Amino acid sequence: MMLEVFTSISGHPLQEATFSSLIRTIFWIVVIGYALRFIAKLSVVYAVNKTHEELRKQSFNAQPHQSHSHKKKQMTPDAEDVDFIEIKD
């Protein structure tokens, strides 16, 4: 009677672990791991391409504005002109 308590849980008999079930479990863990890695790689490639496309659109839209502001900066000097005088000893 005591042995029956340890070999069943809630009326269901326990399955014994075999070498083939261990190999099958390891196989499925590896397959699921590679599948998740493949999905992650695809999603990263998609995200990088999408970001690159958005940056290209932003740079294309901002390019005329930047060139106008760049011309404005060239017209106004940032620093004063300094004349150097050579001193002879």
Winning range, highest mean pLDDT, from 29-33, 56-60, 78-82, 83-87: 29-33
CA distances from 82 to 6, 73, 85 (A): 95, 19, 10
pTM here? 0.45
Percent of the chain with pLDDT over 70: 63
Residues 16-27, mean pLDDT to the nearest whole number: 89
pLDDT band at 74 (very low <50, low <70, confident <90, very high): low
CA distances from 54 to 30, 39, 42, 63, 66 (A): 36, 22, 18, 14, 17
